[in-house]
Amino acid sequence: MKMSFRWYGEGNDSVSLAQIKQIPGVEEIVWALHDKQPGEVWEISEIEAVKKQLDKYGFGMSVVESVNVHDDIKTGGGNRDKYIENYRQTLRNLAKFGVKVVCYNFMPVFDWTRTDLFHPLPDGSTALFYEKSKIKQDPSEMADYILNTTKGYTMPGWEPERLAHLKELFELYKPVSKEQLWDNLKYFLEQIMPVCHECDIKMAIHPDDPPWDIFGLPRLITDEAAVGRFLSMVDDPYNCLTLCSGSLGASEANNIPEIVKKYCSRIAFAHIRNVKHYPGGDFSEVSHRDCDGDVGIIDIIRAYHDGGFDGYIRPDHGRHIWDEKCRPGYGLYDRALGIMYILGVWDTLEKLSGGNK
């Protein structure tokens, strides 16, 4: 297991690399070029600039989150082959800098979805929250809320340039059934797998967040059966998962420790996040501590440990604590606490199993 921390880049993150360096155990920065639009090639010089920043602190850059997939690829539009070729070129360029895992998602229109980014928790902190009844309303209201609340920060999947055309985006996806979306995902992966082999880069899909259809848009990676279908559809060791315990764990029906046990060898990147369920499908993000939420954090870490997981791991969203000024979910303090919790469990398991660390 290699511990990592997501960082949005110089001038685009409230957290500095110097601060991250002081969190015990972090070896890798999970990064991206956040000013690139989906479909654009990531140029060598742009990647090199990030490498120089990370080198100063001795951080690796093995994991990219995310190289976003153009809507033409998701919808099977006329220009998809052009954008797939751009994606392949981006992979080749990333490989030159030692990138081993590329996280991406295949969600239509919206990336992750929440209805409140500052939901108060009983301890006085705030966290991201999802209220199911609010999702029935006009999607543009939710988009406006998220874009206004996160002003000044880039939010992956919430590019204002894209969402300015929300109506057109919904039109674009209207004729795309769930089965067609599966077909388009398969086509995309089959086209890029040879390049992944050549470059030794694993493609790691992030599950849909939340893991159910929203606003009438189909969602694919939602439960254990869907994960199984995805992995066998393109049965290739480079076709992998970003197993996000918080995304899949938003559904009470998903048993995350069981999914980790079953598919451990195909998980390239682990997101560890805890979620508390409320009646009716509402959920709140909470601290990483096992008993604060419902996903079974200790059993999840144990499943990775006992499965011999040697991929990359990171704490996912944190709460807002101690009045930190930061991008919602991506402050320093609570994610650092999360890392210490994950490492505490991991190191204990190592010691109990007679490991060296």
**Active centre residues (catalytic):** 206, 244, 271, 316-317, 330
Q: Is 25 helix (H, G, I), strand (E, B) or coil?
A: coil
Whole-number Cα distances in Å, 49 to 10, 42, 53, 58, 124: 10, 12, 7, 15, 39
Chain positions 230 to 259 lying near Mn ion, rule: CB under 5 A, are 244
Nearer to Mn ion, 176 or 303 (CB): 303
CB of 221 to Mn ion, least distance (A): 11
| Residue nearest Mn ion, CB atom distance | 244
- The residue among 246, 338, 357 whose CA lies nearest residue 23 is 338
CB of 326 to Mn ion, least distance (A): 17
Q: Which residues pair with 116 in a beta bridge?
A: 129
Q: Residue 5 half-sphere exposure, CB side, CA atoms within 13 Å?
A: 30
Segment interacting with Mn ion, rule: CB under 5 A, options 161-169, 172-180, 299-307, 315-323: 315-323
CB of 48 to Mn ion, least distance (A): 27
CB of 206 to Mn ion, least distance (A): 6
Tokens describing residue 251: 């559904």
CB of 244 to Mn ion, least distance (A): 3
Is residue 104 within 8 A of residue 206, CB to CB? The reply is yes
Segment interacting with Mn ion, rule: CB under 5 A, options 5-13, 68-76, 277-285, 310-318: 310-318
Tokens describing residue 8: 């949005």
Tokens describing residue 290: 């096992």
Which one among 316, 329, 336, 338 touches Mn ion, defined by CB under 5 A?
316
CA–CA separation, 127 and 319 (whole Å): 5
Nearer to Mn ion, 80 or 296 (CB): 296
E strands in the chain: 2-6, 26-31, 60-65, 101-104, 116-120, 126-130, 202-205, 239-244, 267-272, 274-277, 283-286, 312-315
Which secondary-structure segment (H or E) carries 184?
helix 178-199
CB burial of 21-56 (b: ≥16 within 10 Å; e: otherwise) equals eebebbebbbbbbbebebbbbbeeeebeebeebbee
Crossing angle of helices 256-263 and 224-233, in 10° steps, is: 20
Nearer to Mn ion, 39 or 315 (CB): 315
Segment interacting with Mn ion, rule: CB under 5 A, options 2-10, 75-83, 169-177, 311-319: 311-319
Segment interacting with Mn ion, rule: CB under 5 A, options 116-124, 142-150, 313-321, 337-345: 313-321
DSSP letter for 225, please: H
Does residue 100 belong to the site contacting Mn ion (CB under 5 A)?
A: no
Nearer to Mn ion, 199 or 270 (CB): 270
Nearer to Mn ion, 285 or 316 (CB): 316
Chain positions 264 to 283 lying near Mn ion, rule: CB under 5 A, are 271
- Number of residues interacting with Mn ion: please give it, by CB under 5 A: 3
Nearer to Mn ion, 101 or 199 (CB): 101
Q: Give contact residues for Mn ion (rule: CB under 5 A).
A: 244, 271, 316
